[in-house]
Structure 1
Amino acid sequence: MISRLDLRGTALSSLDARGLRDALPRAEFDVDAALDVVRPLCADVQARGVQALLELGERFDGARPTSLRVPREVLRAAVEQLDPAIRGALLESIRRARLVHADQRRTDTSTTVTDGGVVTERWVPVDRVGLYVPGGIAVYPSSVVMNVVPAQAAEVPSLAVASPPQSTNTGVFHGYPHPTILAACELLGVDEVYAVGGAQAVAMFAYGASDEDGTTVCEPVTLVTGPGNIYVAAAKRLLKGLIGIDAEAGPTEIAILADDAADADLVAADMISQAEHDELAAAVLVTDSPELAEQVERALDTRAGATRHAVRVKTALGGRQSGIVLVDSLDDGIRVVDAYAAEHLEIQTRDAAAVAARIRNAGAIFVGAYAPVSLGDYCAGSNHVLPTGGCACHSSGLSVQSFLRGIHVVDYSREALQEVAAQVVTLANAEDLPAHGEAVTARFPDA
């Protein structure tokens, strides 16, 4: 079911960093090709606002809500009808996420460069954010938590959530996002929720949306965050600049670095847990133990056939994006997983914490047998909106910092400027920008 890549012997040493990254399993995710699809959709939303959004929802999601914005009474009904066990689990997820994200809030720092010369870095939240929550083949109330909690911790003054309308909803929820998503919004105190999915949701956030009579239904935002499919990623790429974005999220992925001390059944269970997300989901095991590799293969065959989403899981595990990578040593395994730069990286080895401390590239690292990715998805307190497609080598997951901007405030007295005036003039002339220097000397006409 799952392929093998043998990097033992000279196979690994013959590859440089880029060659190694290219050799490893990875899903095909052509955002550029999707741009041709989303460009006219976004233009339609810009031109026709609410009417275009309602028509696109009916076309792509098979549902047309009574109103684009979910009424407050529908949000309240979602909580009232929520299974108590799910409510309790969501509240615990929120509590833990708030604990972790509260400690991420930055404080302003001031540096006295010279007497009378101070530079302060002020951290200011963005004015308004649009938080996207996917709702295709699965329901993700956890993504509501992961988007909203850091935005609230950053003290963003205005935030809105969008999630696709659901054709299978009945009663008061018909045509609105899944009731569990709505309940999560209500539990978090978010009352601005829109029944809009896909690329058109990103366009709505970027351009805003008005009714035919000109009434504004959704104000434009300054930043859009949250995972989604390839069309959501393409819309983010298209509209980046008009809006800020967190990342162009691709298919989810898990890498597991394991040695012969790992439990093959647990490794297989964790690989399958990510494979059930999507047929393009990636599951990669890197190990220096051929015996473990064989045991994991057998466990995958057994578990994949027994899981509810067996067809989806088998497709993902059998795709080019998944595989078992054999290496000669744990040191080689670390080199491989650093090159792969996984969204989620599990360390299931002896001295797992020490091995984890050596990893440089990963969206999130899960240490030991009792920290599966599923824990991070829901209740670890960490954030599960993470960089994919190898982007963890340069990008971070969603955090409070994602919603903050650093502003340098420069406060110099006359004496402090005069002290450094000659150096400013010298550097301005060196760059052949004499007016820069003149802007300083103009302040000291008698000098």
Structure 2
Amino acid sequence: MPLKLYATDKHYAEKLDQLLKKERAESKDVADVVSKIIEDVRHNGDAALIALTKKFDSIDLTEKGFRVSLEEIRDARGSVSKEQLTALTVAANRIESFHANQKPNDLSYTDEQGVGLGLRWSALDAVGLYVPGGTASYPSSVLMNAIPSKVAGVKRRVITVPSLNGEINPMVLAAADVAGVTEVYRIGGAQAIAALAYGTSSIAPVDKIVGPGNAYVATAKKMVYGKVGIDSIAGPSEVVIVADQKNNPEWIAYDLLAQAEHDTAAQSILITDNNSFADLVVSAIDNLLRDLPRSEIAEKSWNDHGAIIVLNSLDEAPILIDMLAPEHLQLATENPEILSKKVSHAGAIFLGRYTPEAIGDYVAGPNHVLPTNKTARFSSGLSVFDFLKRTTIVDCNRDSLREIASSAISLAKAEGLDAHARSIAIRMK
């Protein structure tokens, strides 16, 4: 059963602390296994990829080949229904439009001392986009990772995706085609991360790896960081829904289940100020679970990690939300805008009764790759900025250098770096 907390309970603070500290990620230590996989791929390249893919995925890459051909990608696009292709196109257009508005401008100015200063943005040369397989395929994740990198101007974009019996979900390949990605490899797991980071004879290395995955993928991303950049370490998905009694209980029940069906480790939390409404939502969940194709996953997630928190007033919600720092925050209340302005820590906020979090997973426009496991306290969702880097520009002439040289020379001498001081002083003679 999901945890139920009442703000009026004298043990509320203690129970809330237990909820905040509860671990949802896989507890098993996979570091040793991942380390060996990375070293194997690093030293044995393609041969290691073939052996590891056969071992973990039961696929012989010598027969299927590493790379998905353009013909396979185009065939996949042709095999999906017109409705599905339209949906992919609508989503892609909305995602591209939103992310295009994120592109920053270069900065250039001359300060009071006559020093020219600037900041120039440039795209990464090559990025790896990891697309998870597992219990479900996510063409939406292809769009959410590939399109911001396209908008940023990344020249080479590479998708790696584990395959089932050597075949990749046609919707995933169709999404790759819609997003303009032509370099796709049927490789997954830690071995795919290693190949992207270090390269093999068949796969050239990239500069940054983005995209979610299981514990092995997350650990591999941690281990290759420094050789390449990474976006974040994604944990199980989560939603916090703040809802008053004016909501339809079934709407909120489906919103909670939408998160729960992702993964048995996903977390769905309802915050309300009405106990009777909370009970109606729980009853609705029990009824609606029966008809869900992924009911076993959703039920386990809800029972193991779900929570209902009944507050005295929803005015108390913002402090609690910031403690939870959720990936997704849904505010199904009378004045959601006012409430949202009191929240500092959330990956994405969905305002009002007609903005279910699920719309953000697909077609709203903002990215659905968001910080999990309270990392919204210090990080943000995937954006164009993840595929850009900044270079600062400094331009002195003789006069402007003279204006600021003495302070620099003084600081250099204070740090005991005499060559630094002389490098500046010699230009003043």
* TM-score after normalising by structure 2: 0.95
Q: Is the 8 A contact 1:57 1:165 kept in 2?
A: no
Q: Is 1:218 the equivalent of 2:209?
A: no
- The aligned counterpart of 2:49 is 53
Q: Is 1:191 the equivalent of 2:175?
A: no
Identity of aligned residues (%): 38
Q: Is 1:252 the equivalent of 2:247?
A: no
- The aligned counterpart of 1:310 is 295
- The aligned counterpart of 2:252 is 267
Q: Is the 8 A contact 1:25 1:322 kept in 2?
A: no
- The aligned counterpart of 2:36 is 40
Q: For 1:297 and 1:137, how far apart are their aligned partners in 2? A: 26
Q: Is the 8 A contact 1:251 1:280 kept in 2?
A: yes
Q: Is the 8 A contact 1:424 1:437 kept in 2?
A: yes
> 421, 430, 441: which one pairs with 2:414?
430
User: Partner amino acid for 1:311?
Assistant: E
> 271, 281, 284: which one pairs with 2:266?
281
Aligned alpha-carbon RMSD (Å) = 1.8
- The aligned counterpart of 1:84 is 82
For residues 26 and 350 of structure 1, do their structure 2 counterparts lie closer, same or farther at Cα, with a shift above 3 Å needed?
Answer: farther
Matches within 5 A, 1:3-82: 3-8=3-8, 23-24=19-20, 26-29=22-25, 33-65=29-61, 66-82=64-80
Q: For 1:140 and 1:283, how far apart are their aligned partners in 2? A: 20
- The aligned counterpart of 1:130 is 128
Structure 1 unaligned segments of length 5 or more: list them: 168-174, 211-216
- The aligned counterpart of 1:172 is none
Q: Deviations over 1:335-393 (max 9, x none)?
A: 11111111111001110122122211111111111111110111101111111111111
Q: For 1:87 and 1:58, how far apart are their aligned partners in 2? A: 32
Please report how far the alpha carbon of residue 442 of structure 1 lies from its aligned counterpart in structure 2 after TM superposition.
1.6
Structure 2 unaligned segments of length 5 or more: list them: none
Q: Is 1:201 the equivalent of 2:197?
A: no
Q: For 2:22 and 2:83, how far apart are their aligned partners in 1? A: 37
Please report how far the alpha carbon of residue 332 of structure 1 lies from its aligned counterpart in structure 2 after TM superposition.
1.9
Q: For 2:48 and 2:27, how far apart are their aligned partners in 1? A: 23
Q: Is the 8 A contact 2:241 2:332 kept in 1?
A: yes
For residues 200 and 419 of structure 1, do their structure 2 counterparts lie closer, same or farther at Cα, with a shift above 3 Å needed?
Answer: same
User: Partner amino acid for 1:201?
Assistant: A
* TM-score after normalising by structure 1: 0.91
Q: Deviations over 1:299-320 (max 9, x none)?
A: 111111221111111100011x
Secondary structure at 2:350's aligned position in 1? strand
Q: Is the 8 A contact 2:95 2:365 kept in 1?
A: yes
Matches within 5 A, 1:124-163: 124-163=122-161
Please report how far the alpha carbon of residue 250 of structure 1 lies from its aligned counterpart in structure 2 after TM superposition.
0.6
Q: Is 1:117 the equivalent of 2:101?
A: no
Q: Is 1:406 the equivalent of 2:352?
A: no
Secondary structure at 1:428's aligned position in 2? helix
User: Partner amino acid for 1:81?
Assistant: S
Q: For 2:369 and 2:288, how far apart are their aligned partners in 1? A: 27
Q: For 1:392 and 1:21, how far apart are their aligned partners in 2? A: 18
Q: For 1:299 and 1:44, how far apart are their aligned partners in 2? A: 50
Please report how far the alpha carbon of residue 440 of structure 1 lies from its aligned counterpart in structure 2 after TM superposition.
1.1
Q: Is the 8 A contact 2:113 2:403 kept in 1?
A: no
Q: For 2:385 and 2:74, how far apart are their aligned partners in 1? A: 31
Q: Is 1:371 the equivalent of 2:355?
A: yes
More moved, 88-97 vs 45-54: 45-54
User: Partner amino acid for 1:411?
Assistant: D
Q: Deviations over 1:261-283 (max 9, x none)?
A: 33221111001011111111111
Q: For 1:193 and 1:306, how far apart are their aligned partners in 2? A: 35
Secondary structure at 2:240's aligned position in 1? strand
Secondary structure at 1:209's aligned position in 2? coil
Q: For 1:360 and 1:366, how far apart are their aligned partners in 2? A: 14
User: Partner amino acid for 2:183?
Assistant: E
Q: For 2:424 and 2:282, how far apart are their aligned partners in 1? A: 71
- The aligned counterpart of 1:237 is 222
Please report how far the alpha carbon of residue 76 of structure 1 lies from its aligned counterpart in structure 2 after TM superposition.
1.0
> 171, 177, 199: which one pairs with 1:180?
171
Matches within 5 A, 1:295-444: 295-319=280-304, 321-444=305-428
For residues 31 and 424 of structure 1, do their structure 2 counterparts lie closer, same or farther at Cα, with a shift above 3 Å needed?
Answer: farther
Please report how far the alpha carbon of residue 73 of structure 1 lies from its aligned counterpart in structure 2 after TM superposition.
0.8
Q: Is the 8 A contact 1:26 1:389 kept in 2?
A: no
Q: Deviations over 1:207-233 (max 9, x none)?
A: 1112xxxxxx11100100011111111
Aligned pair count reads: 427
Secondary structure at 1:45's aligned position in 2? helix
Q: Is the 8 A contact 1:27 1:251 kept in 2?
A: no
Q: For 1:10 and 1:311, how far apart are their aligned partners in 2? A: 34
